[in-house]
Structure 1
Amino acid sequence: MNLTISGHHLELTPAIRDYVENKLERIIRHFDHVIDIAVILGVEKPSEKDKRQRAEVNLRLRGNVIHVESFAEDLYAAIDTLIDKLDRQVLKYKTKIQDHQHETFKRMPDVSASA
């Protein structure tokens, strides 16, 4: 798994980098078939009074890419909501994959009933 963390108009401190890595461990614990993770942290400035912290992630899986973004007043809050959204999407993808793999066994006729 490759992890890339970058900042736009923002200096990435070791504390922010460690915080993101610790939060991403939750995603890896639920689903370990991750190929690549690209995290982009930044500051959006539509106007001076409306400063917003932005966090987005592209999670590459086999045959799929999950893109999630989140905005908040605080960068750590943006990262927390980002990880929550990503966790929900990864779990949804995982159940979709598991249901699809076992679908053929559910629809096969029972061999012992016909004998």
Structure 2
Amino acid sequence: MNLTISGHHIDVTPAIREYVQNKLERVKRHFDHLIDVSVILSVDNLTEKEKRQKAEINLRMSGKTVFVESVAQDLYAAIDTLIDKLDRQVMKHKDKVQNHNHETIKHLAESENPASAA
């Protein structure tokens, strides 16, 4: 897995880098077929003073690309909500991949049973 962490109008400190890496471990625990992860941390000059810190992630995995963004007052809070959203999407993709393969076997077994019973 290639991990790229970059910052726009912000310096990415080793503490922030380590925090993002630790949070991404949760996603890798659920689904380890990740190819490339790109994290962009930025500070926006918005009129709303509450939500200036922005975190974005672009995650490529086998068969799908997931983009998630989060905005908050604190950068660490933005990263936390970002990882929560990402984890939900990765789990949803994992369920779709796993259920798709099992449903075909179920449908084949169900279609054979009525034919043999009649």
What TM-score, normalized to structure 1?
0.92
Q: Which residue of 2 aligns with 1:5?
A: 5
Which stretch has the larger CA shift, 43-52 or 1-10? 43-52
Report if the CA contact (8 A) 2:53-2:78 is conserved: yes
Q: Which residue of 1 aligns with 2:14?
A: 14
Q: Which residue of 2 aligns with 1:98?
A: 98
Shift of 1:47: 3.3
Rounded Cα–Cα distance in structure 2 between residues aligned with 1:11 and 1:57: 17
- Percent same amino acid among aligned pairs? 65
Query: What are the ranges of 5 or more consecutive residues in structure 1 without an aligned counterpart?
Result: none
Rounded Cα–Cα distance in structure 2 between residues aligned with 1:19 and 1:70: 16
Alignment of 1:30-109 (within 5 A): 30-47=30-47, 49=49, 52-109=52-109
Which SS does the other structure have where 2:81 is aligned?
Answer: helix
Which stretch has the larger CA shift, 59-68 or 14-23? 59-68
**90 and 79 in structure 1: CA distance in 2 versus 1, 3 angstrom threshold:** same
Deviations 1:10-63 (A, max 9, x none): 001000000000000000000001000000000010238456100000000112
Which SS does the other structure have where 2:7 is aligned?
Answer: strand
Rounded Cα–Cα distance in structure 1 between residues aligned with 2:81 and 2:33: 22
**73 and 95 in structure 1: CA distance in 2 versus 1, 3 angstrom threshold:** same
Which SS does the other structure have where 2:66 is aligned?
Answer: strand
Report if the CA contact (8 A) 1:43-1:51 is conserved: no
Which SS does the other structure have where 1:109 is aligned?
Answer: helix
Which SS does the other structure have where 2:17 is aligned?
Answer: helix
Report if the CA contact (8 A) 2:70-2:82 is conserved: yes
Rounded Cα–Cα distance in structure 1 between residues aligned with 2:50 and 2:21: 28
Which SS does the other structure have where 1:32 is aligned?
Answer: coil
Which stretch has the larger CA shift, 99-108 or 46-55? 46-55
